[in-house]
Amino acid sequence: MAEVETQTRPGGETAAKAAPYVRPDVRAFLDFLNSAGAAPMSSQTPEMARLGVLQLGSVAERAPLVLPVIRDLAAPGPAGDIALRLYDMRAAREPGPAIVFFHGGGFVIGNLDTHHAFCTEIASALDLPVIAVDYRLAPEHPFPAAPDDCEAAARWIATSPNAIGRTITGLIPMGDSAGGNLAIVVTQALGDDPATVPVVMQVPLYPLTDDKADHVSTQVFAEGYLLNADSMGWFGKCYAAPLKDPRAYPLYHDHAGTPPTVLVTAGLDPIRDNGRVYGAELVLAGVDVTFLELSGTIHGFAQLRKVIPSAQDDILSIFAAMKRQLEHI
């Protein structure tokens, strides 16, 4: 049975409102987190925030899988080399598609190590090469440094079989949160100016897609659900992207020609409705969309699989949806 909250309307009238469903393991994690009294992200330096995310991952994320291939690479970028990391279940393979992974973190935090365990899971479950991209971070490198690096890395991956040791026939941009935003932005950029190999699918997980502050989810889940209003405001200030710019907010790009999409949102996420409105635009444009809204869980669940065990089932559902789409490629 759902919990019930009460709200007092003007004049003293009381109305009942069902509280959002929260899974038991998510509730336990949030209770611990909210009682810890951590300093607001806006009061920290970027270096402190980045260290904090690494420390959280060391206790909250499952151990990485052991793979035959985990190898660091570098791609030329607009401001120097871009660090990459290749994951593969096979030492050698026939030509085929590859996943290009962009980590989340509000364009300010995160790196190859924060998402290392998740990338090993993707490579193992999908039996595809995964190349993770370590793009430049704000505020040291504000918009458009991140999309510039991610697009440059994707184009290099599409044209560098000797360096990668694999012949790639199609790209699958994938990422979480800010990385989900970048996956969409890269897909759109490569659609506008096609790469050597096509984008055959995109997989944005709980992505930021627009600059609107009035989504219902932004109001309802502003506090107490890990990602909060303070952090979102700080991320936005650091990233310093112009409003309505489609390379920052891909909802404002034309969606015709978007490749098949697996789109994921979290039910308790303040940017949940960013994913919902983006998915609606794809449907209206006639795109083949698999939309998964995972109820009772929070933003960032893919890196919290030790403290939120149910998140492992969530990522398996995502991988199953990706496999179904891959059958038609």
Q: Report which of 133, 168, 275 is spatially closest to residue 215, judged by C-alpha positions.
A: 275
pLDDT in tens, 114-164: 999 999 999 999 999 999 999 999 999 999 999 999 999 999 999 999 999
**Weakest mean pLDDT among 1-10, 105-114, 283-292:** 1-10
Predicted pLDDT of residue 8: 39
Q: DSSP of 256-307, one letter per residue?
A: TTPPPEEEEEETT-TTHHHHHHHHHHHHHTT--EEEEEETT--TTGGG-TTT
**Antiparallel, parallel or unpaired: β 168-176 and 96-102:** parallel
34 within some domain: no
Which residues are known catalytic residues?
Answer: 177, 269, 299
| Phi (first) and psi of residue 204, to 5 degrees | -85, 125
What are the Cα distances from residue 6, in Å, to 15, 16, 223?
6, 5, 18
Predicted pLDDT of residue 91: 96
Whether the per-residue pLDDT at 25 is higher than 90: the answer is: yes
Q: Which two tokens stand for residue 73?
A: 């690479």
Predicted pLDDT of residue 203: 99
Q: Which two tokens stand for residue 97?
A: 């598609």
pLDDT in tens, 53-91: 999 999 999 999 999 999 999 999 999 999 999 999 999
Task: State yes or no: cis peptide before 198, omega within 30 of 0.
Answer: no
Whether the per-residue pLDDT at 276 is higher than 70: the answer is: yes
What are the Cα distances from residue 291, in Å, to 152, 253, 327?
28, 19, 17
What one-letter code names the amino acid at 150?
Answer: C
23 within some domain: no
pLDDT in tens, 225-250: 999 999 999 999 999 999 999 999 99
Task: State yes or no: cis peptide before 139, omega within 30 of 0.
Answer: yes
Whether the per-residue pLDDT at 168 is higher than 80: the answer is: yes
140 within some domain: yes
129 within some domain: yes
Average pLDDT over residues 167-173: 97
Task: Show the CA angle centred on residue 261, arms to residues 87 and 134, nearest 5°.
Answer: 35
36 C-beta neighbours (distance < 10 Å), count: 7
> Using an 8 Å Cβ cutoff, are 113 and 96 in contact?
no
- Beta bridge partners, 69, equal 88
Predicted pLDDT of residue 38: 84
pTM of the model: 0.94
Predicted pLDDT of residue 156: 97
Predicted pLDDT of residue 196: 86
Predicted pLDDT of residue 195: 79
Average pLDDT over residues 187-191: 97
* Alpha-carbon gap, residue 102 to 203, rounded angstroms: 10
* Alpha-carbon gap, residue 307 to 25, rounded angstroms: 7
79 within some domain: yes
Task: Show the CA angle centred on residue 22, arms to residues 33 and 212, nearest 5°.
Answer: 80
SS3 of residue 29 by DSSP: helix
What are the Cα distances from residue 155, in Å, to 46, 161, 267, 311?
29, 12, 34, 32
CATH number of the domain where residue 65 is located:
3.40.50.1820
User: What range does the domain containing 270 cover?
Assistant: 40-326
Q: Residue 5: which pLDDT band, with cuts at 50, 70 and 90?
A: very low
SS3 of residue 50 by DSSP: helix
Predicted pLDDT of residue 7: 38
> In this prediction, what percent of the chain has a pLDDT beyond 70?
95
> Which helix (H) or strand (E) segment is 174 a member of?
strand 168-176
Whether the per-residue pLDDT at 278 is higher than 90: the answer is: yes
The total domain count for the chain is: 1
> Which helix (H) or strand (E) segment is 326 a member of?
helix 310-326
pLDDT averaged over every residue in the chain: 94
Average pLDDT over residues 34-53: 93
Provide the terminal-to-terminal Cα distance of the chain, rounded to the nearest Å: 42
Whether the per-residue pLDDT at 1 is higher than 50: the answer is: no
Q: Residue 17: which pLDDT band, with cuts at 50, 70 and 90?
A: low
* Alpha-carbon gap, residue 145 to 136, rounded angstroms: 6
167 within some domain: yes
181 within some domain: yes
Quickly tell me which residue has 């598609």 as its tokens. 97
Predicted pLDDT of residue 37: 84
35 within some domain: no
269 C-beta neighbours (distance < 10 Å), count: 25
